[in-house]
Structures are given as structure tokens and as C-alpha cells.
Amino acid sequence: MASSVEVPSYTVARELAVPAGTAALIVVDMQNDFVTAGGALVVPDAQATVPVIAGLLARARAAGTRVFYTQDSHAPGDMEFPIWGQHVLEGTWGWQIVDALAPQPGERVIRKLRYDGFFGTSLDHELRLAGIATVVVCGTVANICVLHTAGSAALRGYRVVVPVEAVSALAPFDLHAAFRQIDFLYKGTLVHADGLRFAA
């Protein structure tokens, strides 16, 4: 039975500067299966976030900010397939990060088996080795891999920043619910993507 609920309000900053040297940009799961027409599990608004994320990448790289990617990675028979169907099989076209956001040499790609970019991966260790205090998290899917990664970062003591136009979801409610959780539960900072700066 369908019902309506109102998502509580949350705050989105107009502008924000993060310190370039102690921040990392984490691009979550921008892979063909989620983003590109013909993918196994395309998120409706993901393609629209590509130029926004490309802009964030350009600004981060120009400022010397470290860039990390998460890459959802599954083998045949994965336990998530009964939930979502088969997707991002390792080594396939659908598993690859979209060409427009391709990692540059020296940028780390963290393969993950579950929603959370920290679960069972080296991400936390690598961030700490790099002296990172702030993580800027963007990508897809808002209430799944983005939220779990942002929440996991917050629980590990990182300052979490999420540029709202650089995140996509399967449904509008999911998007707003994720933003509310990041703002209220994890005390992250939501900001308009065009107002986010990586400052020296």
C-alpha cells in the first residue's frame, strides 16, 4: 500500500572551501552498468552528474587534491544478485568506470565487494597514510553506496562533504533521504557543487 511521507529538511551550503592538501575526492561507482545507456542497472540521473563530477575532478587535480575511485566489483553468483540482478561483473564493460571520468595515472581505484567503500578494502589505511582529514564523496547510488561510504567515513572520524549535484539516485525520495541522513545522522556538510573549492 503506497503512502506519502515528508523528508525532514536539511541544509545545503552555497559555498565551501576545503583544504586541498588534507582533502580527498572520492568518486563512488561511476561505472557503465550504473551510468551508461545499456548498463545492467542504470540510475536515471547518473549521466547528468558526469559533467558535474568531471568539474570537481578538474578542480581537485588542479589544486593537488588526492583522488580516489570506488569500483563495485562482483563475481558470478554474488550474494547481491538476488537483490539487484547481475551487475558490474569484474572485467566486463559494465564494470568499467565511465570514460568521461577515467582515473588518471597515480589515482587510486578501490575495488569493493559491498556498498561501503571502506568495508574489506584498503581505503581507510590509504587515506590515513596520505594525511587526509576531509573526504568529498560523490557518485552513485545516493542512498546505497554513497550513503554507506559517507557514513563509514564519518564513523572513522573524517569530515564528510557531499556536493549535492554530483550524486544520483534511483528515485527522488532516495536522494533526499540520503542527504537528510548525511546532514542529520553523520553531521556531514552538503554543498552545491559549483560552490565547492579546493583551497591551498
CA dist., res. 98 & res. 69, Å (int): 11
- The region that residue 53 occupies, defined by phi over 0 for left and psi between -120 and 50 for alpha, beta otherwise, is alpha
CA 173 to chain centre: 18
Give which of 166, 28, 31 is closest to 97, Cα–Cα.
31
CA dist., res. 135 & res. 184, Å (int): 17
Examine the residue annotation and report whether 29 is marked as an active-site residue of this protein: yes
Contact 137, 150 (CB under 8 A): yes
Q: Which of 29, 72, 78, 183 is catalytic?
A: 29
CA 124 to chain centre: 15
Q: Which of 33, 45, 72, 112 is catalytic?
A: 112
* CA within 13 Å, CB half, 162: 34
141 three-state secondary structure? coil
The residue count for the chain: 200
- For residue 111, report the phi and psi dihedrals to the nearest 5 degrees: -80, 130
Q: Which of 45, 72, 138, 145 is catalytic?
A: 145
Examine the residue annotation and report whether 138 is marked as an active-site residue of this protein: no
Any idea which residues carry the catalytic annotation? Answer: 29, 112, 145
